[in-house]
Structure 1
């Protein structure tokens, strides 16, 4: 195109050479040819969200598990009435909740958001996007059934050959409760505050009576004027809560005193009647520790020391983990801070669930007690040696006879603690117990990283069911990982071994 073809005469035009500024070429910068970007383009064919997810995506695995493997009869059985607004299909809600608990999205409001924003959740919900109230109500209504998914997930892992029960490890971890440390009171402060509030309520009641008399004289007795003032209503409700908290602390102290008195009586050789009488006497005379606390947001939670050395309201989660693929084979959640009382219940729970006992049970020194050592010996003798316990005994106490390198026969008068300590000093004992950390502790770390080591629901029963759901999702992710590795290894195996 010549200069005369333009809008202006050629004599009035000044030709300027293209200048390269800061290394940007003439065809670069805003003049660069980019890939087509048309945000307002209309799709002639509706998109299939399933095409946006890889074939081995976790959401596809969860959907397949819910559709073909899980028994949802308990969920459907709860909808006994045919009337009313149609609820969301339990398959949809279970898919969303399981995937959410797998990837650490557990809040009902957050689940509502991701069902709109995140492709995997939107595909699982079939683009229905349930609101947070529906999600929260479904979780609360079917909490026990959701907790039962743990048993079904365990059976799926056993069917896949991921559980052998050859070697298992028992350990515990503190799970944060949904409780505020600012909404708690010690017994001493609670008693003091209760007296102050009682005086304030009495003064407000006197003022209310005086106001009522004045209003009756002014407006007449037929006029309403008997409503409680806001300050009085608030203080009365607080007074009721304080009384309930105080009664609960006193009841806990009585139970603890009865339990300790009965144990001491039985250790002395007293019969059951005398032990029960001593327990009743101790319960009547029980004194609450002044520093004993009660939380008002979650009364079942307890102050516990966590791994970082700080103190929080928490629950104590216990788990038995199989060594093969780190599958949780038995678990529970308690509000007892110490671990020592959980050996017998968890091992019995594992036996009832699977029908067999593991060959080796490993536990740290937090589980060492005379009761647990006696139980371990009973199980070992009853199984003819097919089940062995390896429980760390902690530091050797003064007077205990535990050689550094055990040789020869075990002394006939050796205590159960000395026998266990001697067992762990042997070459086999050292090798077996060294596996404990590698079996169980990574499981709690994985839950903390991927799912979050806390519970949203309040109350021991509801928190326990939520923990079972967390454990079930951990096992399902282990199953998904194994299946994914098997699928990825199949083509390689076919290439490595050509057909004959």
Structure 2
């Protein structure tokens, strides 16, 4: 909403579909533009990668909570619609037979009645939503099983086998939901404490001039899973690791602390991670460090 741009464009604005098509058509090129801009900032001395901070924010999706359905409700609704479609097909066959007897064969249109077409299209959407929830459950079960296996000391082959078994036997939570407007979005708790369909936008920012050096968008609501992929993305983009990585308590986990130690040891101490292990409430005083006698 910059007035200067609105004036230059004579109040004309591209339709959101045009923007989406442009982004889809030039996705790889847009990634290179970000990389080129980052290189320019580094050349200008605006990015030192001395100290970087990792944080995220929830971006609300253009999806209504009323346009969603739980797995249990999906299963129930599928059965109801399937019965309705069968009944409508039976009625259509009866009408066809009656018309054939009255007017002769091949004297009718082939299009589906609107009521039947509408129910069949809804049945397809329900099936797609249910399949999506089942796929999500399989992925989640696979990740959890592989993590447990590796924590027990199993090698990669055994962990992968256990992951496959868990994925095959994954059970979808009855209350797990899928949105029909934006199936990729997920219910997340936003900053105001309410829950909305949203995405989790993550970024690593260089402390010198607040330049974004790595970013990603995910539909995983918690931040804790983003430390490793974002730091690795930063390393792949710039070719170097920062000297200090700052993150709040939302990123603290045993896995991330182990990863931080691995990176620190591998860099001979040139890279340090500072991940908060807890939160301090507003107005709360941090207890002083005990002193020796």
TM-score range, shorter chain: 0.7 to 0.9
Deviation of 1:180 (Å)? 2.3
Distance 1:202 1:278 in 2: 41
TM-score in terms of structure 1 length: 0.53
List per-residue Cα deviations over 1:450-485 (Å, max 9, x = no partner). xxxxxxxxxxxxxxxxxxxxxxxxxxxxxxxxxxxx
Deviation of 1:373 (Å)? 0.9
Over 3 Å counting, the alpha-carbon distance change for 1:363 and 1:234 in structure 2 is same
Q: Say what the alpha-carbon RMSD is for the aligned residues.
A: 4.0
Over 3 Å counting, the alpha-carbon distance change for 1:404 and 1:267 in structure 2 is farther
Distance 1:201 1:228 in 2: 11
The answer for the alignment partner of 1:183 in structure 2 is 67
Contact 1:315 1:335 (C-alpha < 8 Å) held by counterparts: yes
Distance 2:13 2:155 in 1: 63
Distance 2:200 2:12 in 1: 37
Contact 1:173 1:317 (C-alpha < 8 Å) held by counterparts: yes
Distance 2:131 2:161 in 1: 23
Over 3 Å counting, the alpha-carbon distance change for 1:407 and 1:122 in structure 2 is closer
Instruction: Tell me which of 157, 160, 166 is aligned to 1:282.
Output: 166
Over 3 Å counting, the alpha-carbon distance change for 1:233 and 1:178 in structure 2 is same
Deviation of 1:120 (Å)? 4.0
Over 3 Å counting, the alpha-carbon distance change for 1:131 and 1:339 in structure 2 is closer
Distance 1:323 1:132 in 2: 33
Gap regions ≥5 residues in structure 1:
1-116, 409-500
Deviation of 1:139 (Å)? 4.0
Contact 1:262 1:275 (C-alpha < 8 Å) held by counterparts: yes
Deviation of 1:212 (Å)? 0.6
Distance 1:141 1:312 in 2: 29
2:66 partner SS: coil
Deviation of 1:398 (Å)? 23
Deviation of 1:243 (Å)? 0.8
Deviation of 1:379 (Å)? 1.6
**1:338-357 correspondence to structure 2 within 5 Å:** 338-357=222-241
TM-score in terms of structure 2 length: 0.88
Deviation of 1:376 (Å)? 1.1
Contact 1:166 1:360 (C-alpha < 8 Å) held by counterparts: yes
Deviation of 1:355 (Å)? 2.0
Between 1:278-287 and 1:119-128, the stretch displaced more is 119-128
Over 3 Å counting, the alpha-carbon distance change for 1:239 and 1:335 in structure 2 is same
Contact 1:212 1:226 (C-alpha < 8 Å) held by counterparts: no
Over 3 Å counting, the alpha-carbon distance change for 1:143 and 1:274 in structure 2 is closer
1:182 partner SS: helix
Over 3 Å counting, the alpha-carbon distance change for 1:397 and 1:269 in structure 2 is farther
Deviation of 1:307 (Å)? 0.3
Aligned residue pairs, count: 292
Over 3 Å counting, the alpha-carbon distance change for 1:278 and 1:126 in structure 2 is same
List per-residue Cα deviations over 1:266-321 (Å, max 9, x = no partner). 21222333323322222222111011001112111111110011111111111111
Gap regions ≥5 residues in structure 2:
none
Q: Say which structure, 1 or 2, has more relative contact order (CA 8 Å, 6+ apart).
A: 2
Deviation of 1:134 (Å)? 5.9
Distance 2:237 2:48 in 1: 14
The answer for the alignment partner of 2:257 in structure 1 is 373
Over 3 Å counting, the alpha-carbon distance change for 1:187 and 1:319 in structure 2 is same
The answer for the alignment partner of 2:52 in structure 1 is 168
Contact 1:215 1:225 (C-alpha < 8 Å) held by counterparts: no
The answer for the alignment partner of 2:272 in structure 1 is 388
Contact 1:212 1:225 (C-alpha < 8 Å) held by counterparts: no
